[in-house]
Amino acid sequence: MSHSAARFVAAAFLAGVTSVAGAENKVPGAESLNAPAGPRQLAMGGASVGQSGVEGAWNNPASLVATNSKWQFSLAGGPLFTGVEDFGSTFLLGGATWRVTDRLAVGLLGHMTNVSFDSYAADGNKNGSTEQGIYCGGLSAAYRIADWLSAGITAKGLGERFTCERVGNNSSVGSFVGDLGAALSYNGFTFGLAMRNLGPDMREWSYPVQNGSSDFIENAPKELRMGLSWFNREPALRISAELAGEPGSDGDPAIGGGAEWWPAPAFALRLGLAVDGGSPTFTGGLTGTINKNFSVDYGIMAHPIGLIHRVGLSLALGGPVAEEAAPAEAAPAPAPVREEKPAAAVPARPAGSKLNFAIADLAAQGVSASDSAVIADLLRGELVKTGAFTIIEKQNMDKVLSEQGFQQTGCTSEECAVKIGKLLNVQRMAVGSFGKLMDSYILSIRVVNVETGAIGYADSVEGQKVSDLRTGVKDLAARMARQIR
């Protein structure tokens, strides 16, 4: 790219260096703190609302508690721009989150931007080089106050190293800043509000220039972020839009948004549009998940100066927290039922009696087999409480099928449900799946009439935390008791 483009980039990091003596300016190096941090945010036009984990917490600490996994480790990075002559840059964001309880989460976040470039005089001759590094890291915490409201806070240490050969300056400054955030969620909608980089000026300092000196106030650029996200389960689609800007600034706020589509549980596509004081900029990206725990993200922005790339890696460990911390509470034992003879199937139903009902093992999609077994047991227990059916206990069901040499693993079709149902001598057989899609856990159930092979009932529930699932399964059991005949 031409020297003029390089000078344009240099000006973005050295605004005001050659201004008249006594002029007061803000050194804009720390502005990189407000640039799109991770690949998902970049691909969504800069909108971060609705995201979770390290990337979401960096922009709004309240989103920490939206993380379903007990542990998450993330690292994302890339150049600020590519294709610009004599300009090198590195942008990194990393950290770890820990879901302590169903309502409390904490995180460790870190960020680094390092830039080096050459500046040129009007005649095209090189007149110096510049290096600048921004380093920021701290601790975050978020708490779910109510099912629809979360709040969070981040305390960060901020430092900058600046070397400018042209003006003969070499300095390092530092300070402490903080973020405050809140998130409101209802019926698929999430509204996020955050104030970032709140804190005192780092220090005042001066550059010696040819005709005197130029004073600077070095501080972190305060930012207000406000956004709205909507998530639809089928098809799996998220649409987000966000506005960000510095309170009290004369500059126009940055506006961005995008759409995120999951055609499969392990794959996502994103398209976005960003407007930041100029013409619209198009963005895009994708996510691939390997072995349900490891994700690879990529984002790209077609900036007028040059392409911006971000690549991210994340590892999620552990399922819903309450299931690991208190298994008995997450999956209460079903209410006692009349014990059947271990080796015999349930007798046929006389006229007017309860339906004999069994639930096959749920297919695990993006979750562990133990997680899906817990949910299946929870549904059995809730169905027993309704009193509408004679529920076959899991132990008895497994013993009968084992004696018949039948493996129910992977049984999700109507044909398989009919075969199992006949072996168990039940009238209704439920099959389905339990899985994770983005930030939601989803339980899908189909009830098959064993006599006809037809699906007589289909339903699903979803939730972002264990309490959502328990309430949803209870409501699902109540609906099944009313509608299944």
Residues 328 and 359 in one domain: yes
Share the mean pLDDT of the chain.
77
Residues 263 and 204 in one domain: yes
Percent of the chain with pLDDT over 70: 74
Q: Report pTM.
A: 0.64
Number of domains into which the chain is organized: 2
Residues 306 and 330 in one domain: no
Q: Of 317, 337, 367, which residue is a domain's last?
A: 317
Residues 308 and 338 in one domain: no
Evaluate if residue 206 carries a pLDDT over 70: no
Residues 194 and 235 in one domain: yes
Please tell me the predicted confidence (pLDDT) of residue 103. 84
Q: What is the pLDDT of residues 122-146, one digit of tens each?
A: 566 666 677 778 888 999 999 989 8
CATH code, 407: 3.40.50.10610
C-alpha span between 26 and 217 (Å, rounded) = 5
Evaluate if residue 160 carries a pLDDT over 90: no
Please tell me the predicted confidence (pLDDT) of residue 19. 30
Please tell me the predicted confidence (pLDDT) of residue 87. 64
Chain centroid to CA 167: 44
CATH code, 260: 2.40.160.60
State which residues form the domain around 329: 322-483
- Residue 336's CB: how many other CB atoms inside 10 A? 8
Q: Of 317, 352, 387, which residue is a domain's last?
A: 317
Residues 283 and 351 in one domain: no
Q: Of 300, 317, 334, which residue is a domain's last?
A: 317
Please tell me the predicted confidence (pLDDT) of residue 333. 40
Q: What is the pLDDT of residues 49-104, one digit of tens each?
A: 988 889 899 999 999 888 777 889 999 988 776 665 666 778 889 999 998 887 89
Residues 279 and 397 in one domain: no
Residues 72 and 92 in one domain: yes
Residues 352 and 276 in one domain: no
Residues 366 and 282 in one domain: no
Residues 361 and 253 in one domain: no
Higher pLDDT pick, 387 / 353: 387
Residues 268 and 131 in one domain: yes
